[in-house]
Structures are given as structure tokens and as C-alpha cells.
Amino acid sequence: VSTPSPQPSEADVETARVRLAEIAAEIADCRKCPLHRTRTKTVPGQGFPRPEILFVGEGPGQDEDRQGLAFVGRAGALLTRMIVAMGLTRDEVFIANVVKCRATENYEMVKDRAPTLDEMRACLPYLRAQIAALRPRVIVTLGNAALEGLLGLKGITRLRGQWREYEGIPLMPTYHPSFLLRGGGDDTARYWEVWDDLCAVLRRIGREPPPRTRPR
């Protein structure tokens, strides 16, 4: 796999935009796994069609399911602050999930749960197709589900911060923002581990990481 050109042309961006819209339309009609029964909206993911960085989370929560957009709830707010701390904006990256429909414990739709391996397997062709269109220079997986769904690897606390590869694209596993929020938010040792991982990502795409700043 060749390294994608860092500067896609406007035509390249438009081609990817069209392809991503096609994939999103397929997802909207998808019934390949039981999650289709309880979803409000599908959440294909959104952002720049030819980004340098693709973030991959677990799956939609309640806010995402209502809006049809990835990472728009509390975890999304922290992810946004991290992206800004990197010197980037949400509009220049792409943000997606391993599953495109919300997974809950039961039909009361109250408590979210991680997607099962079967659900991730059923959904993975969409993310693969998105990655083929996006051609990111780096993939950042957030948390256990994305790491297991994409690479079949378990154990984010052991594996975070170590470069992997997905289809020839460098992949950096790091913690999920929800995990950081449960552990105290921005000002914890875990946050700075994530920050180190994100600095490694910036260096990989030839950007100088900004000084350690708390995301605000």
C-alpha cells in the first residue's frame, strides 16, 4: 500500500465525499445485525473526506443515536478538546465508530453497552469501505472495542501507545474519552498517556506537537 498523498486535490476530496455519502446511504438501510431494531438514527461518522487522521470509537450512545452524528455527547466534547489541543479542528479529521447503530443492554434503551464481536463483524465492511475512501495517513482507535473490532486485539491498557497497522495504514491505539471521564477527565495521568499517544500521531504526520496543554 502506497502512502497517500498528504495533499489530496479538490477532485480527490470530492470523489471521497461522494463515496462516503454512498456508504452512509447503505448504512441507513442496513439490517445486518440486531442493532438495527433499536436504533433511532444510524451514525456513519463525519468529517473531512480525505483527512490525515481518522478517529475510530466504539459506537453511538444516546446523543449520537438521536442526532445521527458521531461523538456529540460528553465523550465527544472531550474528544473535541483533545483535537483542538492537537492544533486541529473536528472539520479536518474524520470521526467514526466500529458499529454504526447504538447498542443498549435491553429494550428500555437506557444503559449503553459495548458492541459484541458478532455486531462488530457484521458492521466492519462499512468501516473498511470508509477507510478505503478516506485514505487517512493515521488511524487512532479509541478504547477496547475499536482495537478488538479492527485488529482482533484485546487489552487497551497493555497495548495503548504502541504503533500497529491496519491495511498498511499506521494505527495508534489509545484510551476512549469515556474511560478518561470515568477516571476524572482532563487532569489525570491517563489523560497525559493519551496526550503522549496523540503527540506520536502528530509526529507521524510531520507536525510538531504543541506544548503540553490541558484541553480547554
- Binding region for ligand SF4 (CB under 6 A): 27, 30-33, 35-36, 42, 99-101, 119, 122-123
Task: Identify which of residues 33 and 56 has a Cβ nearer to ligand SF4 in the complex.
Answer: 33
Task: Identify which of residues 51 and 76 has a Cβ nearer to ligand URA in the complex.
Answer: 76
Length of the chain: 216
Chosen from ligand SF4, ligand URA, none, partner binding at 97 (C-beta under 5 to 8 Å by type): ligand URA
H or E element: which one contains 46? strand 46-47
Which residues lie near ligand URA (CB under 6 A)?
57-61, 64, 70-71, 73, 75-76, 97, 178
SS3 state of residue 52: coil
**Please, which residues have CB within 8 angstroms of residue 76's CB and are 6 or more apart in sequence?**
63, 64, 70, 177
Task: Identify which of residues 121 and 207 has a Cβ nearer to ligand SF4 in the complex.
Answer: 121
Task: Provide the grid cell at 21.
Answer: 455519502
Chosen from ligand SF4, ligand URA, none, partner binding at 136 (C-beta under 5 to 8 Å by type): none
Backbone φ and ψ of 20, nearest 5°: -65, -35
